[in-house]
Amino acid sequence: MRRQTSSSGVAPVGSSRVLRLDPLSLPLQFDARDTRADGGIRHVELDRERITVRRAVSGVRMAVNIRVSDFIGIALRDAGDEQALVLVHRDPSLTLPLLITAEPEEIDGLWQLWSDCLKLPKITREEEAAARGHKIFAEPAPRRRRRNAIRARRPKFLVRRRAGHSVDGMAVYRDAREIIARN
């Protein structure tokens, strides 16, 4: 089985060349940008079932294993005059580039091919935002309730108790002698 590495045509980090990974030759190994990692580089191993991200932060080396099913899907993004296919995760720092190219006719076929190979849906920018739990164009937050809005309510300990009965509805007997029970 042939493996793609950084010396076999994959663009090195910081290069102006296009990034093109072949979904039919999995497993793949490539380097990607990571602003929080030492040297700004993370090493990625991509397989059909799992993805391993290796990086060093403050001199501490770490490897993060992620199942492919934990990713949201494959998204198409515009990067200036180029377009990119990215593997989108709920955590934006774990989102990985799969293809960066300036040829739009090449993107559609590879978008479907990556989606089929990894068994993930093709998603749009709006679906990606909804999956992460926020809107791209969010409405303003609703106005906060005023503090005195709860003043008319009963206190919490009184909510459990039944309210007393009104005296107006009770029968009153006049000229009756009161009976007091004594021992």
* pLDDT 10s digits, 103-119: 877 788 888 888 888 88
Question: Average of pLDDT values for 17-45?
Answer: 82
Give the containing element (helix H, strand E) for 159.
helix 156-159
Q: What is the C-alpha radius of gyration for the chain, rounded to an integer number of angstroms?
A: 32
> To 5 degrees, how large is the angle CA 52–CA 70–CA 106?
80
- Residues 138, 132 contacting (CB under 8 angstroms): no
**Stated pTM of the model:** 0.58
Long-range contacts, stretch 7-12, CB < 8 angstroms, 24+ apart: 11/100
Query: Is domain 19-132 in CATH 2.30.29, yes or no?
Result: yes
